[in-house]
C-alpha cells in the first residue's frame, strides 16, 4: 500500500493597533487511496499577543468525494480543555471547538482527522476538496480576515521613511514625521552638528504605522538651546535615517 503525504499551510496575519505577526495552521494528509489521514497543526502560536484559552476551527469538505469519519484531539495541547466537534457529512461542514481555564503552552498537532474516499479511482488532493472557512482564537476571528483589518492592512505604510520636518526653519516648535512598515524598536533622537545628543523623543517598540513628534527646541534637561542646524535621526534594528533642520530665534 503506497501512502502519499500532502501538506498545505495557511499563514494567518494578526493585525491590531499594537501588533502584527503570523500564526500558521498546517494541514498535512496521508492519502492511501481509500482513506485520508490528516493532522491540523498550530504553528507560531507564541506570536499571538495574548495567552490562548480557546480556539474554534471550521472547515468544509466535498461530501461527494470524501466523508469525515473520526476526529481525535491531541492531549498535549488540549489535555485540560473541554473539546467538542460537529460533523455534517451531508453538507460537508466540520466545526472543532476547544476551551479551558489553562492556556496553551506548546504548539503542535491540534487534531487528527480520518476521511473515507468515496471513489478510489480518482486521486484526492486535499487542497481541492478541503477548505478552511474560519479560525478563531480567544474570540478573535483571524480567518477570514475581517473587512476592517483588511482596510488597516491596505493603509499601512509600504516602506520605512523619515520625512522632512515642518516647518523648517522653525521657531519655537517643529514636527517630525516618520513611517514604519512593520513593528520594530525605534529611537528618534536630536543631535547637534558635533554629533552630541541633544534630546531623545522616542525610544522603544512601535507597531507599523505613521507617527508624528513635536520638538520644542529644548534639550533633555528641558533647557532652551541655541539657534543653529541640528540633525534628527531615526534608528531601527535594521536601518538609520538622518535629516537636517534649522532652529531660528
Q: What is the pLDDT of residues 90-138, one digit of tens each?
A: 999 999 998 888 888 777 788 899 999 998 888 788 888 888 888 888 8
Q: What percent of the chain has pLDDT over 90?
A: 40
pLDDT in tens, 46-90: 777 778 888 888 999 999 999 999 999 887 777 778 888 899 999
Range 18-40 burial, b when 16+ CB lie within 10 A, else e: eebbebebbbbbebeeebbbbbb
Half-sphere exposure of 230 (CA within 13 A, CB side): 28
In CATH terms, are 4-153 and 161-247 the same topology?
Answer: yes
The pLDDT of residue 147: 57
Range with lowest mean pLDDT among 1-15, 100-114, 197-211: 1-15
Best mean pLDDT range from 135-139, 182-186, 209-213, 218-222:
218-222
Q: Domain locations in the chain? A: 4-153, 161-247
Q: What is the CATH number of domain 4-153?
A: 2.60.40.680
Instruction: Check whether 177 has a pLDDT greater than 60.
Output: yes
Question: What cell was used for 105?
Answer: 503552552
Average pLDDT across the chain, whole number: 82
Q: Is the pTM of this model over 0.75?
A: no
The pLDDT of residue 22: 60
The pLDDT of residue 148: 56
CA separation for the pair 55, 218 (Å, rounded): 51
CA separation for the pair 190, 201 (Å, rounded): 8
CATH architecture of 161-247: Sandwich (2.60)
Structure-derived torsion over alpha carbons of residues 151, 157, 163, 165, reported in degrees to the nearest 10: 40
Amino acid at each position: 500500500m503506497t501512502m502519499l503525504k500532502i501538506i498545505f499551510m495557511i499563514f494567518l496575519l494578526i493585525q491590531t493597533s499594537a501588533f502584527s505577526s503570523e500564526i500558521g495552521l498546517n494541514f498535512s494528509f496521508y492519502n492511501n487511496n481509500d482513506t485520508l489521514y490528516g493532522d491540523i497543526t498550530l504553528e507560531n502560536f507564541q506570536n499571538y499577543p495574548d495567552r490562548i484559552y480557546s480556539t474554534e476551527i471550521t472547515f468544509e469538505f466535498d461530501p461527494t468525494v470524501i466523508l469525515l469519519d473520526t476526529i481525535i484531539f491531541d492531549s498535549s495541547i488540549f489535555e485540560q480543555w473541554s473539546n467538542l466537534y460537529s460533523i455534517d457529512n451531508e453538507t460537508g461542514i466540520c466545526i472543532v471547538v476547544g476551551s479551558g481555564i489553562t492556556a496553551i503552552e506548546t504548539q503542535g498537532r491540534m487534531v487528527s482527522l480520518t476521511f473515507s474516499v468515496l471513489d478510489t479511482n480518482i486521486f484526492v488532493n486535499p487542497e481541492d476538496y478541503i477548505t478552511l472557512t474560519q479560525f478563531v482564537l480567544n474570540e478573535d476571528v483571524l480567518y477570514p480576515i475581517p473587512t476592517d483589518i483588511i482596510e488597516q492592512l491596505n493603509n499601512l505604510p509600504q516602506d520605512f521613511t523619515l520625512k522632512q520636518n515642518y516647518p523648517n526653519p522653525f521657531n519655537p516648535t517643529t514636527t517630525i514625521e516618520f513611517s514604519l512598515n512593520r513593528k520594530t524598536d525605534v529611537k528618534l533622537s536630536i543631535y547637534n552638528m558635533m554629533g552630541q545628543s541633544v534630546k531623545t523623543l522616542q525610544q522603544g517598540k512601535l507597531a507599523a504605522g505613521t507617527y508624528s513628534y513635536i520638538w520644542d527646541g529644548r534639550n533633555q534637561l528641558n533647557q532652551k538651546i541655541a539657534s543653529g542646524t541640528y540633525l534628527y535621526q531615526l534608528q531601527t534594528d535594521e536601518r538609520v535615517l538622518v535629516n537636517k533642520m534649522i532652529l531660528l530665534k
